Chains A and B, each alone.
Chain A
Amino acid sequence: MDTHLIEQAAGPTPQDYKSEVKPIWCPGCGDYSVLAAVTRAFATMGLEKHNTAVVSGIGCSSRIPAYTSAYGFHGVHGRALAAAGGLKLARPELTVVVFGGDGDGFSIGGNHFLHACRRNVDMTYVVMDNQVYGMTKGQASPTTEPTWCESKLTPEGTGVNPIQPVQLAIACGANFVARGFSGDPNGVAKLIVEAIKHPGFSVVQVLSPCVTFRPEQKGWKSAVHPYGREPTEDPALAMRAALEDDGFGLGIFLAGNRLPFAPAGKAVASIDELEQEFAV
């Protein structure tokens, strides 16, 4: 453990990264912990608020930018990764962190998730997975088990297998893949710090119970466990571990070595020179 004798008052505190806006999540929502984890991570890294951008889509989880005091972009449903990718590519010096839920990220956002992993732009994606659509009153999401019958939209259950975000992320080429649990905000904070520090596209799936529509998820506290292996840089090994995991294994599955996608942006010609191509 690395400790150093420094006045505790020095350096930013998590509170510095919170805005004055009080979250309207249901009391008991796992997202409170994620907000705590994120602000702790930012404080630990000493990030500059004005050089940090928090991007989200639509859903309970996506409300988070307004609760932080960094720059925020609250976009449309499912498209946060696209907006964030554009922002990071245009402004590579910013720290860009994307937030969303399992519906925003894997249903309407599924295609962008696939390509964000593949494209490997240097940014971090925190998915608050509660296996339900909370904001629209409790429909099944792509991570909901097929037998869950509590939604009016699918009263017999979806009958469709869920996707497994960690496996999907590894398969599509994300460079850093981890799973955390909102019941351990410090653990999640640590994963977020590692994720931000790790080059390329980092995915942190946070199991984050929905107290209103999936009260049985209180039992997740007993279901989670360390997934039992050291992080590897080999996607094949990471995938094996993810496939064998029961979906509640916590830790860093993959800390890969793919180079991040960042097209070089140095000017080597003027527009006048380019115009010459049209000259008769």
Chain B
Amino acid sequence: MTVDSVTIAFVGSGGAGVMTAGQMLLDAAAHVGWYGHMSRSSGPQIRGGEAAAFVRLSPQPVQAPGDRFDLIVAFDWQNIERFAAELPLSADSVIVTDPSQGEIPAVLAASGAKTIALPIKDIAATIPGGRVNMVGLGAVAAVIGLPRAGIEKVVESALGKKGEAAIQASIAGAEGGAKAAVGWNLGLELAAPAKSGAPRWNISGNEAAGLGALKAGVKFCAAYPITPATEVLEWLAPALAKTGGTLVQAEDEIASINMCIGASFGGVPSVTATAGPGLSLMIEALGLAISSETPVVVVDVMRGGPSTGIPTKSEQSDLNIAVYGMHGDAPHLVVAPTSIADCAYTTQWAVHLAEAIQTPCIVLSDQAMGQSRAVVDKPADAPFKAQRLLATLADGVPYKRYANTPSGISPAAIPGMPGGEHTADGLEHAESALPSSQASDHQKQLDKRLRKLTQYDYGAPWADVEGEGEVAVLTWGSATGPAREAIARLAAQGKKVRLVAMRLIAPLQPEKLAEALKGVSKLLILEQTHGAQFHKYLRAHMDLPGAVTVFSRPGPLPIRAGEVHEKLVSLV
């Protein structure tokens, strides 16, 4: 009797190697052909703090974290209260604990979960160079039926540099754990993977965002580190260097965004990545990019706000600032990936749109996608490339940088093009680019900058519209995964629910949305904000069909499919 999904947590504190265990479990599962998703949680200490790795594995692609944990392996119980809310358990859950580390904390035991004693530390001590995390990993492997070959492969690639002795010690540790788990009979053997042989990736959302930017043709990045966006920049640093681009570390976010805008003025597609506090700092410069019609892409990996907030946890509460943040009437692009893999597609699309429309595009990713890893089918190549409309300059014809074209997009002159010299400006300007405070020029340029956005044909990527039904879920970003899984559960029971996951947040597409929601009598708006920002944004622009229920709750806890399912059940 196998299961279709198993959700596992490793918990422990510094030195136990919790994160490594989780990573290796995901990697091993990937080698064997399973799909998976891994996220992490830790205390505020730079090192040695309490840590938890959350891994969900399945023979099918995993859309969301599990509703509850099937299995927890605890190396110790230091400060476990920190993670208690992130470790939903039930009486069907199993807690594997090292008796030498004391009692299972009441907050977890209260669930009624089954407990198993495993002398992890003792077993590790019997092996020269043995580590507790390998013992735990081995036990888990035995429980879920992960073949030994998967563990060996992962150990070799992780420890290859450390030499044969380290490899042997790790494998022995895993074997020790596996041996001790014989006879547990937990009924958590994972169903065999469908061996399709199709290429797959093991990637995080942040890496995917960097890759998407690169694939579109980005050649410049100015970077300032901030949790949880730093990995985007760290991935781009060597990647840009290797592909003929440049990444420079700036002194702050304001320098980053201005550097990107300067590079883009020079015709070079540019990107940066940040989080809420950094985006706040960048807002003025984004207004400059809007007014001067300079493309730039900012990946905002959203975290708990406001202000310093909860840097290591996810939320969708930067929607307002992304859409409304600039002073003045400053329409621009905002897009949001719907999954870890979609971070690549959407960021690539963002660069293409920004260059085509000559305006900033904010990519609203979040910590849940950015800092989680998933094993996914290798995404198909997307067709989006950075391509700016360049001016054809004729002798004797004065060049108008901000020419009032029907599309609203003015052919651009880039430094290096003789005859195209002009001064790009944040000041309002005439078509010639000269500063102007005239009413007619302001009206003309405002109309043009809006028109270029509203008249652009965004095509199918504006949203993922899936399924049919009178009941629909309208959502965006990382909330999409749990929505998809909840809808799939209902479909298995014969209940049809439609999904609209919006990728193009701004400019809003009221007509397309109305079309996608045609026939809907009950609509569930799903978002991870305290103030229902998404719902209010929609309502500012249009009426929504049917009876609307808003499920909006803030971070730090991830949205789980079960919560969405519960809400939908009351509607269908």
Query: A residues bordering B, Cβ < 8 Å?
Result: 21, 48-55, 65-66, 69-76, 79, 82-91, 93-94, 111-112, 114-115, 119, 263-271, 274-275, 278-280
B241 shortest CB reach to chain A, Å: 7
Given A82-B262, A90-B246, A271 contacting B415 (CB threshold 8 A):
no
B239: CB under 8 A from chain A?
yes
19 A-B pairs (CB sep. < 8 Å): A54-B423, A74-B425, A74-B435, A75-B261, A79-B285, A82-B262, A85-B259, A86-B222, A86-B259, A90-B219, A90-B246, A94-B266, A94-B416, A112-B258, A115-B250, A265-B246, A279-B200, A280-B200, A280-B201
B334: Cβ under 8 A from any A Cβ:
no
Closest to B248 in A: A89
> Are B266 and A91 in contact, CB atoms less than 8 angstroms apart?
yes
Q: Answer yes or no: B174 CB below 8 A from chain A CBs.
A: no
Question: Which chain B residue shows the least CB distance to A121?
Answer: B248
8 additional A-B residue pairs with CB within 8 Å, beyond A89-B246, A278-B378: A66-B435, A75-B258, A75-B288, A90-B270, A94-B416, A111-B251, A111-B252, A115-B255
Interface string of B410-444 (1 = CB under 8 A from A): 00010111111111111100000011000000000
Complex CA–CA separation, A55 to B292 (angstroms): 13
Does B422 contact A89, Cβ atoms closer than 8 Å?
no
Tell me which residues across on chain B come within 8 A of A115, comparing CB atoms. 250-251, 255
**Of listed B30, B260, B266, residue having the most chain A CB within 10 A:** B266
Kindly state the separation between the CA atoms of A198 and B211 in the bound complex, as whole angstroms: 37
Is the CB of B169 closer than 8 A to any CB of chain A? Answer: no
Q: Are A90 and B416 in contact (CB under 8 A)?
A: no
User: Is B315 an interface position by the 8 A CB rule?
Assistant: no
Say what secondary structure dominates the interface of chain A: mixed
List of B residues within 8 angstroms of A267 by Cβ: 242-244
Please give me the 10 A-B residue pairs with the lowest Cβ-Cβ distance, nearest first.
A86-B259, A72-B423, A267-B244, A86-B262, A83-B262, A90-B263, A82-B258, A87-B262, A91-B266, A90-B268
Min distance, Cβ B150 to any Cβ of chain A, angstroms:
11
> What are the residues of chain A within 8 A of B435 when measuring CB–CB?
66, 74
Q: What A residues does B415 contact at CB under 8 A? A: 50-53, 71, 87, 91, 94
A274-B242 in contact given A76-B285, A79-B255, A79-B258 (Cβ < 8 Å):
yes
Most buried by B among A50, A69, A86: A86
Known contacts A66-B423, A269-B242; A91 and B416 CB within 8 A of each other: yes
Nearest B residue (CB) for A266: B244
Question: What's the least CB distance linking A110 to chain B, in Å?
Answer: 11
The reply to whether A74 and B424 form a contact with Cβ atoms under 8 Å apart is yes
User: CA A89 – CA B292 in complex, angstroms?
Assistant: 20
Interface residue SS majority, chain B:
mixed
Question: Is B203 part of the contact surface with A, judged by Cβ < 8 Å?
Answer: yes
Contact B243 A274 (CB under 8 A): yes
Hey, which chain A residues are within 8 Å of B263, CB to CB? 86-87, 89-91
> Which one of A83, A119, A264 has the greatest number of beta carbons of chain B within 10 Å?
A83
Interface size classification for chain B = 35 or more
A76 CA / B255 CA spacing, docked (Å) = 11
| Neighbouring B residues of A265 by C-beta, 8 Å | 219, 241, 244-246
Q: Contact between B258 and A83 (Cβ–Cβ < 8 Å)? A: yes
Of B30, B255, B284, B424, most A-chain CB atoms within 10 Å: B255
Q: B398's closest neighbor in chain A, by CB?
A: A20
Binary per-residue interface labels of chain B (267-290) against chain A in the complex, 1 for a CB within 8 Å, 0 otherwise: 110100000000000001101100
Instruction: Collect the chain B residues with CB atoms within 8 Å of residue A111's CB.
Output: 251-252, 255
Given A79-B255, A94-B266, A271 and B243 contact (CB-CB distance below 8 Å): yes
- The residues of A that contact B267 with a CB separation of less than 8 Å are 91
Residue B490 CB within 8 A of the other chain: no
Q: How many angstroms between the C-alpha atoms of A76 and B202 in the bound complex?
A: 41
Contact call B426/A75, Cβ cutoff below 8 A: yes
Chain A residues lying within 8 Å of B427, measured Cβ to Cβ, are 74
What are the residues of chain A within 8 A of B378 when measuring CB–CB?
278-279
**Given A83-B265, A89-B259, do A73 and B424 touch, yes or no (CB 8 Å)?**
yes
- Distance, CA A66 to CA B401, complexed state (A): 13
Assembled-state Cα–Cα distance A109/B543 (Å): 46
Decide: A50 and B421 in contact? CB cutoff 8 A. yes
Closest to A75 in B: B288
Q: A114 vs B417: C-alpha distance in the bound complex, in angstroms?
A: 32
Which residues of the partner chain B approach A50 to less than 8 Å between Cβ atoms? Answer: 415-421
Nearest-CB residue, chain B, relative to A108: B254
What chain B residues lie within 8 Å of A55 (beta carbons)? Answer: 262
Q: Is the CB of B31 closer than 8 A to any CB of chain A?
A: yes
